[in-house]
Amino acid sequence: MTIVNPFSPKASLLRYWRRTFPNAELPAFLLDKASPLNATQAATYARYIDAHTLQEHLPSFCASANLYCTFLKKKKGSGPAPVPDSFTEYSGRDFVKYTKPGSSDFTNYSVSSNVAEDTFATYGGDQDGHSQQFTRYESDGNVGAGRFSKYNTEGVGQFNNYGDHSNVDQHRFTRYGDDTNAGLQMFTSYSENSNVVGNDFESYGSLAIRMSSQFSGYSTSSNVITNKFTSYNKEVNGPLDQFTTYAENGNIVRNQFQSYEAGGNAGLEQFQSYSELANLPDNIFRSYGKGDNGASLSFEKYGNASNPLAEFTEYGKDGSSITASFTFYSKDNTTFSDYHRTGTTFDDYRNTTVSATALVEPGKFFREASLVSGHHIPMPDIRDKLPPRSFLPRTIADKLPFSSRRLPELIRTLNASGLQVAMARTLADCERPAVKGETKRCVTSIEGMAEFAASVLGEKAWVSTTANTAGSGRMVAVGEVRGRNGGGVTRAVSCHQSLFPYLVYYCHALPLVKVYDVEVMLEGKKANQAVAICHLDTTQWSAGHAAFRALGHKPGEIEVCHFIFQNDFTWGVNPFSPKASLQRYWRRTFPGAELPAFLLGKASPLNATQAAVFSRYIDSHNLQQHLPSFCASANLYCTFLKNERASLLSSDAAQDATFTEYANRDFANYSISAGSSDFTNYSVNRNIGKDTFASYGGERQAGDQGFLNYESNGNVGASRFGRYQTDGTGKFNNYGDSGNVEQQRFSGYGDGSNGGLETFQSYSEKSNVVGADFKSYGSAANGILSQFASYSTGSNVITNSFTSYNKEGNGPLDQFTSYSDSGNVVRNEFLTYEDDANAGGEIFQQYAEGAKKPDNVFRSYGPSGNGAGFIFGNYGNSSNPLAEFTEYGKDANGATASFSSYVTENTTFKGYHETTTTFGSYINASSRPISALVEPGKFFREADLLSGNQIPMPDIHDKMPPRSFLPRTIADKLPFSSTRLPELIRMLNASGLQGSMARTLADCERKPVKDETKRCVTSLEGMAEFAASVLGEKARVSTTANTVGSGRMVAVGKVRGRTGGGVTRAVSCHQSLFPYLVYYCHAVPRVKVYDVEVMLEGKKANQAVAICHLDTTQWSAGHAAFRALGHKPGEIEVCHFIFQNDFIWVSQD
């Protein structure tokens, strides 16, 4: 196993990757492109950049960082070279002023060398009629550089396989063959199959007599070629130059013939198959043959290329008896300025739009229909032909200028003048505005690429490439074809290399594509695993794009597909994840319909590996051992606690202590004497906060403890105050408000305290699923005063338990003001509350007012108490309450109980102390204006949906804890029935949710009412399956767009009825409380569904969905809709909005 230095750029990249894609490994093919610099090197070179001294260290920087550097730093040899006849397998030598009367053989010279620098300066001197052979010179080399300055031979100079298969050849023939007589220079397979060739023939053959030059196979199949023939054969006599298959099949060729043969006599130039099938060649013949006498110029099959640009400026100007022949000349963009027209013929001159498909390599572009198993298709040459390089570390890349404006600065910094044109082109592409619908970015680091992909596709983005190059340039058979995302339309990011000294990728995203994994078969066996991408929307593409020349259509008429080439990448959503499996299922169930983002966002976040692993844990009955990771990875709502001690803090100092902005700590046996402790903003905005205050306070005296904004806005906050003691003031202000699933335990809180004041103000306000346990709270305390103001108001599914509260306390006074006001499904338990207490006073003001379905249990409340006074003001002003007063005040002496404005329907007083118990204004809930119990706007009539109407909009916020569905493969393995609920609770350690889970299962198992079809679904696949079973494959799902307007008066904008506003059948799905997402879906036959614009201040603020139930005959007479609207079942239709994260399904219009 390779150990990576944790401080190296590569290790930093790995950490970044795991943060960005928590469930995906960085693949080897991408990691290999990361910077090889170690931590020390990266820091050193970064300092050099800051100090503007990088140029002084370029050679080591290029080598260490694996860059592509074209500069040369001359290394002098040790005087004249040796004199042997043969220099086979030599390398990197300096032949300065070398001369020898015989022949010299440079066979296999500098073969397979890297950064070869060979110098032949003033080579040959005044030698006569000798031959020099350079066979396989600098073949297979990288950044080969050969200099032939004033090279002279009047014999034969042979350059066979010169620099072939090399990367970045930079060969200079300066004043080559000057004043030579009758020499023959042969360049055969010169720089063939090379990358980024730069060849400079400056003053080549000047003043030579009858010198002949042959360029056969010159730079064929090379990439990014720049060849310069400057003052070539100037003022020569009778030269014969042949360029056969010159620059054939090259990419982005630039050839310059400047002052070529100017002033020459009787020259003959032949260009056969010049730049044939090259891509984007620029050919400049400037002052070519100017002032020539009797020159003959022949271009055969000239410019049979893609998107060529040719400029003939002063071509043959002022020449005499010049003949020029262009046979099969094919050009679109050609300029003939001041050329010699007499004697110039164009045979079969044609525009390249004729037979243009010949210009595009077969298989480079194809149609989607070609991707059928068994088809035979041509595969293009997908090999990466750019020089090998690495990314720079992001810390270095971000320091370098990267813009066209600052290109000169970057070129100076990297001494990269040899790449100036390519770098300019790269930056121009990067700065080009995106086309319509495109998102693009050039990235200079892997972190940058990951960041861009995640910004488009999210943390589930997954990168892939074609596995190898097998099949390149051959006819191949298509094997198995598997479409990503079920073969449907998706969004992908493609990243392509650009030529730069370090790796730069041009990444872009287009919304309408399909991505396929394609088996490439050769001789009946799998040879490659290719990735193909099909662009479905080509309307913005250029009409001259090679794809249309190859496939014969216009932009927007067809889709265009191509393979991902070697070292290019495509990003999509992991095709093996549960989410990808869901998308495939969706497209099979609803052909032609996309899975909407609001529903996809609820799919399981598990990746393929996690889903398989957790599924095995369920099969082997050991999921419990992995619950923390299961809950976190699957985004479940888990209420269990695992006591992990972050630290053990203790102090005996008599001083104040401040723990502001602390989180998730363990204050076990913490004690300070006399001082105060401040826990302000403790665990704010935390997820899964676990704070432990066990035996906190010890035997301290009169210390004040402040818990302000404690665990606010937290998710699944869990705090334990075990045997917490203070004789001073304990303040819990804004404790856990707006939190989700607060589980607070006050066990043995304040035991044995004297005269303490405990204030719980805005405790767990607006929280979801609050579980607070006050066990043995204030037992044996003296004169403890507890205030619960706005306790759990506006909360959902509250379970508060006061067990053995203030047992045997003396003189306690407890105030519950606005306790559980407006809560939903509240259960409050006061078990053996203030048992044996003396002279206690309890005040419940506005207790559970406006709460929905509260269960309040006062069991053995105040038994055997002496002189206790209990006041319930505005008690139970709630919806469908259940209250049980068992042994309330039983055996108590002098107990007084007052129920002022007591409102409830379902109340049981068993064995309560009847003496001195008074019920002032005791009324049954059904005997008063009960519409006040229903939130305004929750139900309304169809006539209210009239454009311009002002209506109240209820609070449609989703107040359930955030969760995801489980993958169907896992959900189907878990027990889901009331009979097996104990088993499920053990598996998920979900005892804190037992009541809610039981209620959910009871609703799921309830028999449907007449004409109702219902099902509880535990996966998105299950929901889709149920909707399709009711509505068919044309079913479409929608929801209200956002929550804007909630709880406000809004104006009705445009109203559009689905299915033309007529009666239809729909499926509604509502959340239920469970550890993972469970939806109660049901269908009734006679409904109308409307899309409603919600207007605020004259502007559209929301797009709501409303459903109107036309048949209410089977509804309960006590249904809140009838309490709100004042009618009976069957008398009226009832409408309501679809709340946040609830869904409505209807058939497509």
Per-residue pLDDT, 538: 92
Rounded to whole angstroms, the Cα distance separating 964 from 1075 reads 9
Rounded to whole angstroms, the Cα distance separating 791 from 1122 reads 30
Per-residue pLDDT, 263: 63
- The kind and range of the H/E element at 429 are helix 420-431
Region 427-455: mean pLDDT is 93
- List Cβ neighbours of 195 (8 Å cut-off, separation of 6 or more): 166, 167, 168, 222, 223, 224, 385, 386, 387
User: Over the stretch 13-25, which tens digit does the pLDDT of each residue have?
Assistant: 999 998 998 767 8
User: Over the stretch 638-695, which tens digit does the pLDDT of each residue have?
Assistant: 877 333 333 333 333 334 455 654 554 556 555 544 456 666 666 554 444 445 565 5
Helices 446-457 & 9-20, crossing angle to 10 degrees?
A: 0
User: Over the stretch 860-891, which tens digit does the pLDDT of each residue have?
Assistant: 666 555 655 666 666 665 554 567 677 666 66
Structure tokens at 408: 């000169």
Q: Residue 398's Cα: distance from chain center in Å? A: 21
Rounded to whole angstroms, the Cα distance separating 313 from 443 reads 40
CA of 409: how far to CAs of 50, 70, 186, 417, 952, in Å?
14, 16, 40, 11, 63
User: Over the stretch 582-623, which tens digit does the pLDDT of each residue have?
Assistant: 888 898 899 878 888 899 889 998 888 788 889 989 999 999
Which one, of 130, 125, 133, 134, lies nearest residue 99 by Cα? 125
Per-residue pLDDT, 677: 65
DSSP state string for 516-584: EEEEEEETTEEEEEEEEEEES--TTS-TT-HHHHHHT--TTTS-EEEEPPTT-EEEEE-TTSHHHHHHH
Which one, of 808, 754, 763, 747, lies nearest residue 785 by Cα? 754
Residue 342 confidence (pLDDT) above 60? no
Q: Count the alpha carbons within 13 Å of 23 in the hemisphere toward its beta carbon.
A: 24
Region 1077-1092: mean pLDDT is 92
Which one, of 213, 322, 313, lies nearest residue 256 by Cα? 313
Per the listing, tokens 């379905």 go with 853
Structure tokens at 945: 């949906």
Structure tokens at 242: 């042949």
Best-predicted range by mean pLDDT among 272-281, 779-788, 1093-1102?
1093-1102
Per-residue pLDDT, 262: 60
Residue 133 confidence (pLDDT) above 60? yes
Q: Residue 324's Cα: distance from chain center in Å? A: 59
Q: Count the alpha carbons within 13 Å of 934 in the hemisphere toward its beta carbon.
A: 20
If one compares 1065 and 742, the residue with the highest pLDDT of the two is 1065
| Residue 311 · residue 333 · CB < 8 Å | no
Structure tokens at 874: 């505005």
Angle at 311 between CA 308 and CA 315, to 5 degrees: 140
| Residue 1091 · residue 1059 · CB < 8 Å | no
Range with lowest mean pLDDT among 37-46, 439-448, 507-516, 789-798 = 789-798
| Residue 934 · residue 1124 · CB < 8 Å | yes
DSSP 8-state class, residue 179: T
Region 332-350: mean pLDDT is 55
